[in-house]
Amino acid sequence: MNAQDVKNIVLKIITDIAPDEDVSGIDDNLTLREQIDLDSMDFLDIVMELRKRYKIEVPQEDYPHLATLKSCMDYLTPKFQSA
Protein backbone atom coordinates (compact mmCIF):
# COMPACT_ATOMS: atom_id res chain seq x y z
CA MET A 1 0.00 0.00 0.00
CA ASN A 2 1.48 3.33 -1.07
CA ALA A 3 0.61 6.93 -0.37
CA GLN A 4 -1.56 7.17 -3.48
CA ASP A 5 -3.66 4.19 -2.32
CA VAL A 6 -4.10 5.84 1.06
CA LYS A 7 -5.20 9.05 -0.62
CA ASN A 8 -7.80 7.13 -2.62
CA ILE A 9 -9.04 5.41 0.52
CA VAL A 10 -9.50 8.76 2.28
CA LEU A 11 -11.24 10.25 -0.74
CA LYS A 12 -13.56 7.23 -0.96
CA ILE A 13 -14.50 7.65 2.69
CA ILE A 14 -15.17 11.37 2.19
CA THR A 15 -17.38 10.59 -0.80
CA ASP A 16 -19.37 8.07 1.25
CA ILE A 17 -19.79 10.51 4.13
CA ALA A 18 -20.56 13.54 1.99
CA PRO A 19 -22.08 12.34 -1.27
CA ASP A 20 -22.95 15.85 -2.40
CA GLU A 21 -19.33 17.09 -2.33
CA ASP A 22 -17.11 17.17 -5.40
CA VAL A 23 -13.70 15.77 -4.42
CA SER A 24 -12.16 15.70 -7.89
CA GLY A 25 -10.21 18.96 -7.72
CA ILE A 26 -8.93 18.80 -4.15
CA ASP A 27 -5.42 20.19 -3.66
CA ASP A 28 -3.31 17.81 -1.54
CA ASN A 29 -1.58 20.66 0.27
CA LEU A 30 -4.56 22.78 1.25
CA THR A 31 -6.75 21.89 4.20
CA LEU A 32 -9.78 19.76 3.40
CA ARG A 33 -11.95 22.13 5.39
CA GLU A 34 -11.23 25.12 3.19
CA GLN A 35 -11.99 23.15 0.04
CA ILE A 36 -15.06 21.13 0.93
CA ASP A 37 -17.82 21.45 3.49
CA LEU A 38 -16.52 19.22 6.29
CA ASP A 39 -16.84 19.97 9.99
CA SER A 40 -15.52 18.33 13.13
CA MET A 41 -18.38 15.83 13.16
CA ASP A 42 -17.42 14.74 9.65
CA PHE A 43 -13.80 14.24 10.70
CA LEU A 44 -15.07 12.02 13.49
CA ASP A 45 -16.78 9.96 10.81
CA ILE A 46 -13.59 9.68 8.80
CA VAL A 47 -11.82 8.34 11.90
CA MET A 48 -14.69 5.95 12.54
CA GLU A 49 -14.69 4.60 8.99
CA LEU A 50 -10.92 4.11 9.06
CA ARG A 51 -11.39 1.97 12.13
CA LYS A 52 -14.41 0.05 10.87
CA ARG A 53 -13.04 -0.65 7.42
CA TYR A 54 -9.32 -1.00 8.01
CA LYS A 55 -8.89 -1.32 11.79
CA ILE A 56 -6.77 1.83 11.71
CA GLU A 57 -6.90 3.75 14.99
CA VAL A 58 -6.50 7.50 15.04
CA PRO A 59 -6.26 8.81 18.61
CA GLN A 60 -7.90 12.14 19.32
CA GLU A 61 -4.59 13.99 19.71
CA ASP A 62 -3.65 12.95 16.18
CA TYR A 63 -6.76 14.41 14.50
CA PRO A 64 -4.77 17.44 13.25
CA HIS A 65 -2.87 14.99 11.00
CA LEU A 66 -6.05 14.63 8.96
CA ALA A 67 -6.11 18.30 7.99
CA THR A 68 -4.84 17.98 4.38
CA LEU A 69 -4.66 15.05 1.98
CA LYS A 70 -0.85 15.34 2.13
CA SER A 71 -0.83 15.11 5.93
CA CYS A 72 -3.32 12.21 5.76
CA MET A 73 -0.95 10.35 3.43
CA ASP A 74 2.10 11.08 5.59
CA TYR A 75 0.37 10.03 8.75
CA LEU A 76 -1.75 7.10 7.58
CA THR A 77 0.55 5.33 5.11
CA PRO A 78 2.89 3.89 7.79
CA LYS A 79 -0.18 2.82 9.77
CA PHE A 80 -1.61 0.98 6.77
CA GLN A 81 1.77 -0.60 6.04
CA SER A 82 2.15 -1.92 9.60
CA ALA A 83 -1.49 -3.01 9.88
Where does this chain bind other proteins (CB under 8 A)?
Answer: 17-20, 37, 39, 41-42, 44-45, 47-48, 51-52, 57-60, 62
Q: What letter represents residue 38's amino acid?
A: L
How near is the Cβ of 50 to other proteins at its closest, in Å?
Answer: 10
How near is the Cβ of 41 to other proteins at its closest, in Å?
Answer: 6
- Output b/e per residue, 36-59; b: 16+ Cβ within 10 A: bebeeebbeebbebbeeebebebe
- Nearer to other proteins by Cβ, of 28 and 62: the residue is 62
Report the alpha-carbon distance of residue 63 to residue 12 in Å, rounded: 18
- Nearer to other proteins by Cβ, of 4 and 34: the residue is 34
Report the alpha-carbon distance of residue 64 to residue 47 in Å, rounded: 12
- Nearer to other proteins by Cβ, of 22 and 74: the residue is 22
